[in-house]
Structure 1
Amino acid sequence: MTNEELILERLDRIEAQLAPITQTASGIKELRDDVIPLSGQAFRLLTRELEDVESGFQLEDLMALLKRSLRSVKHIIFALEQMENMVDFVTTIEPLLKSSVPKVINYLDDLEQRGVLRILTSMLDVRAKIAAAYSPEDIDQIGDGAVVALGLAKKLSDPKAAEFLEKIATLPSKVDLSGAKPVGPFGMLSALSSKEAREGLGVLMQLTKAMGELKNGGNGSSRESEPIA
């Protein structure tokens, strides 16, 4: 092989080795040609946007923010840890919420269907009307009266009291006022010959004894009163 052939062979090898470099350089040139217009446009856009904050931003502020961030690294870490705890908590209760929220919605819908929510709304309206019609002092007095009324209702819940009131309630239907006539002393004596009249008089005496306890506050330990002269 002659020297010329050796030189040509070496040149071919060098050309083969330089081919990738040439392709890379060509790609870089194409990338530069594509990026330069975009970078110029981005730079102009960034400059225009920064003009809006130029009056409120200084480089010293950025340095102060950087220093403050470095001094507050522990606080930032603590905040991130708490955020992780919140995320874990939400992740934990998410299945519960998925199962409980529909139940709550169904329950509220059932209350709405039965009119319970409308009743609650009406009660709030009633409370607003009461507040507009009465002063706080009046409402306090009404509350005291309600407490007394509840005490009376508790006493009336006694079986004996309920039975007595039930019997009293049936009396008007058994009384014939159209047949009532004036009665004198002898008429009263004649009426006492009836068993019903004597039983009624006995009931009246029991009621009279019971009403005597009202004088001493209903404690059942009344002293014997002196006869009226």
Structure 2
Amino acid sequence: MEDKELKLQVTELNKKVDLLLDYVNQQRLKTNQLEDLISDVSIVGKDFYDTAVEELDNRMVDLDLDQVKSLALRILRNIENMNRFLEIFESLNDFLIDSAPILNEVIIDFSKKLDEFEKRGYFEFISESGQVVDKIVANYSREDIKGLTDNIINIIETFKIAASPEVLNSLNKGLNAFRSIDSENIPEYSLFKVIREINSPEMKKAMGFMMTLLKAMTTETNNNKNK
């Protein structure tokens, strides 16, 4: 009975020893692999370092190790900023991807609008306007332009008054009346006929209009002098 128990214990012990030996062997293999990896990396790193030094020397680049160390430290200190920048860049890239269809539609609409302007002659009008400006610059001196600038308020006020419905209506009537006159077949008036025409209602009204206009102009002139 005791022999059986002893054999069982020996068997269990052998199994544990085998497991322990297997674990030690695996660790030894891992250690050897790690040592081989470190050796290979060291060889590659040394070759890379030697190649880099040779290349820098050929290009006459003086590499300061302190500056390299300082640069590496700055990079390490700014990892968070670099990550933030990359996040912003990714967000911007996503925005551009999402807005690409909208931008495409905007460009298409803008191109259509430019084509519409061209068909309507806007660009040709702008080109001709440029020639008008060129002629103004060529025919008027700086003093003329300065005088125009000094009187721009009066000019605008004049156009404002001229653009009123009453003035435009009067001008329209006057132009229509002038257009109705046959300039090549104007009748001759004797002094007696002139006197007789003066007594007509139309001439009396015309003279009244002229007198009223002259008086109004005189009043306006006096008011401007008193300012």
TM-score range, shorter chain: 0.5 to 0.7
**Kindly tell me: are residues 92 and 135 of structure 1, through their superposed partners in 2, closer, same or farther at Cα, counting changes over 3 Å?**
farther
Distance (Å, rounded) in 2 between the aligned partners of 1:60 and 1:86: 36
**Kept in 2: contact 1:213–1:219 (CA 8 A):** no
1:200 aligns with 2:195: no
Mapping 1:82-121, distance limit 5 Å: 82-121=88-127
Pairing 1:78–2:84 present:
yes
Cα distance between partner residues in 2 of 1:156 and 1:123: 24
Q: Is the 8 A contact 2:197 2:203 kept in 1?
A: no
Q: Secondary structure at the match of 2:61?
A: coil
Question: Which residue of structure 1 aligns with residue 212 of structure 2?
Answer: 209
State the secondary structure of the residue aligned to 1:179: coil
Q: Matched residues in 1 for 2:145 and 2:210: separation?
A: 36
Matched, 1:148 2:174: no
Other-structure match for 1:181:
189
**Cα offsets for 1:119-163 (capped at 9, x unmatched):** 324434544565566566643432454543443333233333222
What is the CA–CA distance in structure 2 between the aligned matches of 1:139 and 1:54, rounded to whole Å? 64
Aligned residues: 181
Answer with 130-139 or 85-94: which moved more. Answer: 130-139
Question: What whole-Å deviation, never above 9, does each CA across 1:168-188 have from its counterpart, x for those lacking one?
Answer: 2233343667432341xx555
Q: Residues 106 and 191 of structure 1: is their aligned pair in 2 closer, same or farther, counting only changes over 3 Å?
A: closer
**One-letter identity of the residue aligned with 1:205:** G
Distance (whole Å) between structure 2 residues aligned to residue 103 and residue 189 of structure 1: 72
TM-score (norm 1): 0.58
Q: 1:46 to 1:171 in 2, by over 3 A?
A: same
**2:63 alignment partner, SS class:** coil
% same residue? 21
TM-score by length of 2: 0.59
Deviation at 1:201, TM superposition (A): 1.7
SS in 2 for 1:109: helix
Distance 1:219 1:93 in 2: 67
Task: State how far apart, in whole Å, the 1-side matches of 2:95 and 2:142 are.
Answer: 45
| 1:76–1:150 distance in 2 versus 1, CA, 3 Å | same
Task: Point out where structure 2 has 5 or more consecutive residues left out of the alignment.
Answer: 1-46
| Alpha-carbon displacement from aligned partner over 1:178-212 (angstroms, at most 9, x marks no partner) | 432341xx55543446xxx3322222113312321
